[in-house]
Amino acid sequence: MKMKKLSIYLFVIGSLFFLACQSNNKKTHLYNIVEYGAVGDSSTLNTKAVQAAVDAATEAGGGVVLVPPGKFVTGTIFLKDNVVLEVMAGATLFGSPNIEDYTKMTWGHNKDRQPYHLIMVYQAENVEIRGGGLIDGNGPAFWKDYDASKSPQWVMAKELKVSPMLEVQESKNVRIKDVELKTGGGWTVHLYDSQEIQIQGIRLINNLFAPNGDGIDITGCEDVTISDCIIKTCDDAVCLKTTFDSKECKRVTVANNVIECSCVALKIGNESFRDISQVTFSNNIIYHSSRALGIYAESAGKVEDIVVSNTVYDSKSPLIYNRPIHISLMKRKEPSGAVGNATHKPDVQLVDDGGREPYLRNVLISNFIAKTEGRILVTAEPGRMIENLTLRDISIDYPWIEDPVPNIPKAMSGQFSPMNPDAKKARAAVVLENVEALVIDNLNIRWPETDTVPADWQFPKRIANGTLEPFFPDYSKARQCEMSAIWARNIQKGYIRAPFAEASADVMPRYQIENSNLKVIDD
pLDDT tens digits, residue range 400-411?
999 999 998 888
* Spatial contact of 87 and 69, defined as CB atoms under 8 Å apart: no
Q: Indicate whether 295 belongs to any domain.
A: yes
Average pLDDT over residues 382-397: 98
Q: Is the pLDDT of residue 341 over 90?
A: no
Residue 322, Cβ density class (10 Å: 0-12 exposed, 13-18 middle, ≥19 buried): buried
Q: Is the pLDDT of residue 488 over 70?
A: yes
**Among 58-62, 173-177, 337-341, which stretch is predicted with the lowest mean pLDDT?**
337-341
CATH number at residue 236: 2.160.20.10
- The residue ranking higher by pLDDT, 355 or 2, is 355
**Which one, of 185, 154, 148, 155, lies nearest residue 167 by Cα?**
185
Average pLDDT over residues 71-89: 98
414: left (phi over 0), alpha (psi -120 to 50) or beta: alpha
The pLDDT of residue 360 is 98
Beta bridge mates, 31: 65
**Which one, of 156, 154, 234, 151, lies nearest residue 461 by Cα?**
151
User: Cα(327)–Cα(501) distance, rounded to whole angstroms?
Assistant: 21
Average pLDDT over residues 461-474: 91
Give the DSSP letter of residue 168. E
Q: Is the pLDDT of residue 23 over 90?
A: no
Q: Indicate whether 76 belongs to any domain.
A: yes
* Number of domain units in the chain: 1
Q: Indicate whether 46 belongs to any domain.
A: no
Identity of the amino acid at 292 = A
Q: Indicate whether 420 belongs to any domain.
A: yes
Give the range of the structural domain holding residue 346, as residue numbers without chain letter.
64-426+442-485
% of the chain surpassing 90 pLDDT: 83
Q: Is the pLDDT of residue 426 over 60?
A: yes
Q: To 10 degrees, the CA torsion angle through 33, 37, 39, 45? A: -100
Average pLDDT over residues 45-63: 98
User: Cα(174)–Cα(191) distance, rounded to whole angstroms?
Assistant: 10
The pLDDT of residue 28 is 62
Q: What angle do CA 491, 495, 498 make, to 5 degrees?
A: 115
Report the chain's terminal Cα–Cα distance, integer Å: 79
* Spatial contact of 264 and 217, defined as CB atoms under 8 Å apart: no
- Bridge-based pairing state of the strands 180-182 and 203-205: parallel
Q: Indicate whether 216 belongs to any domain.
A: yes
**Which one, of 441, 278, 243, 240, lies nearest residue 362 by Cα?**
278
Q: What is the pTM of this model?
A: 0.92
Q: Indicate whether 41 belongs to any domain.
A: no
Q: Indicate whether 330 belongs to any domain.
A: yes
The pLDDT of residue 148 is 86
Binning pLDDT at 50, 70 and 90, where does residue 20 land? very low
The pLDDT of residue 352 is 61
CA 412 vs. chain centroid, Å, equals: 22
The pLDDT of residue 107 is 77
Q: How many CA atoms lie within 13 A of 177 on its CB side?
A: 12
101: left (phi over 0), alpha (psi -120 to 50) or beta: alpha
**Which one, of 210, 204, 195, 274, lies nearest residue 238 by Cα?**
204
Give the DSSP letter of residue 10. H
Q: Is the pLDDT of residue 464 over 80?
A: yes
Q: Is the pLDDT of residue 446 over 90?
A: yes
Cis ω on the peptide bond leading into residue 448 (within 30° of 0)? no
Q: Indicate whether 406 belongs to any domain.
A: yes
Identity of the amino acid at 198 = Q
**Which one, of 56, 102, 51, 47, lies nearest residue 78 by Cα?**
51
Q: Which residues of 480-497 are buried (b: 16+ CB within 10 A; e: fewer)?
A: beebbbbbbbbbeebebb
